[in-house]
Amino acid sequence: MTISLKTPRLLVVGDVMLDRYWFGEVSRISPEAPVPVVRVERREERLGGAANVARNAVALGAQTALLGVVGQDEAGDVVQKLLTDLHIDSFLNRDPAISTIIKLRVIGRQQQLLRIDFEHPPTDTVLRNKLTQYNALLPQYDVIVLSDYAKGSLVNVVEMIAAAKRLGKRILVDPKGDDFARYKGASILTPNKSELRQIVGSWKNEDELTTKAQHLRESLDLEALLLTRSEEGMTLYTEGQAIHIPTVAREVYDVSGAGDTVIAALATMLGAGMSIAEAVEIANRAGGIVVGKLGTATVTREELFG
């Protein structure tokens, strides 16, 4: 099976992070407090947040650009190098007033023992520059992916969606927070169950979920709402239809970044000319593969299509 009639061109915008992993041996408990002592033996650095979406899209064969904000610091330099190494077109705004967002995970015996987050919201000046740059880049790309981790890089999301819509672009959003109204007019939203529940409240059965999801889709003027449901698979809500895609049965090892993989696969397949239903099938398969890997990982075309 071939995945593309053409090479998709994706612009990923959002909260850029650096994921750091410290792997070590755990053989004793600290005498200072009842916590394990990890003797660090190996370190890894990977792209995180919106940068992980871009990383996944490139792994699937998309021509990908990333627009975001990092600090004028060592971690920002690492992010830039990782993007360059992966041939991701990088449009990083360096903000000297902040530190690059870092998620540091300490792993012992193949289990995450601790995560430490370093984060600061970008400054207004840098965000204004980023919006100007976004408007200039828009015409060059087929699909726009807005990866919102609620870290401050997408405060202009209303203007971003409006600008992309005027140019007839497909706009995919991985949403966050308790107000989805700012995503109105996007093409597809990809919330997980807890994110959706925060917006529409709980549901007692599948019919009630469908009613609430469709009402949200209509009120936000979306082409589709894709609900990711962990072990339950995914449900795609479009006008007058709800399609459920069961999960691909496999052992779940680590769900870190699974949502990034799903939206990257969905955007890549749509950009390649697939229908929404076809693209969701592939995205579901990609999500099922990536949860079997440690940390923020990617899926390749070979893994998806053999």
Q: In this predicted model, what pLDDT tens digit does every residue of 126-170 receive, in sequence order?
A: 999 999 999 999 999 999 999 999 999 999 999 999 999 999 999
Written as one string, the DSSP assignment of 154-184 is TTTHHHHHHHHHHTT-EEEEE--SS--GGGT
pLDDT in tens, the chain (306 residues): 444 457 999 999 999 999 999 999 998 999 999 999 999 999 999 999 999 999 999 999 999 999 999 999 999 999 999 999 999 999 999 999 999 999 999 999 888 899 999 999 999 999 999 999 999 999 999 999 999 999 999 999 999 999 999 999 999 999 999 999 999 999 999 999 999 999 999 999 999 999 999 999 999 999 999 999 877 888 999 998 999 998 775 655 555 557 898 999 999 999 999 999 999 998 888 877 867 666 656 777 767 776
Question: C-alpha angle 65/68/70, rounded to 5°?
Answer: 125
Return the CATH number at 272: 3.40.1190.20
For residue 264, being part of any structural domain is answered with yes
Residue 260 known to be catalytic:
yes
Residue 173: domain span: 9-17+47-99+120-305
The single residue of 89, 174, 254, 260 carrying the catalytic annotation is 260
Taking the C-alpha atoms of residue 208 and residue 212, their distance in angstroms, rounded to an integer, is: 6
Give the closest residue to 189 by CA, choosing from 254, 262, 241, 130: 262
In a domain, 234, yes or no: yes
Residue 279 lies in a domain: yes
Structure confidence at residue 212 (pLDDT): 96
Residue 131 lies in a domain: yes
Domain annotation covers residue 29: no
The residue among 185, 207, 187, 189 whose CA lies nearest residue 198 is 189
AA letter at 295: G
In a domain, 134, yes or no: yes
In a domain, 109, yes or no: no
Task: State residue 49's pLDDT score.
Answer: 94
Instruction: Please check whether residue 261 lies inside any domain of the structure.
Output: yes
Number of domains within the chain: 1
Give the SS3 label for residue 277.
helix
| CA Rg value for the chain | 19
Rounded Cα–Cα distance for residues 74 and 77 (Å):
5
Nearest to 144 by CA among 86, 183, 113, 115: 183
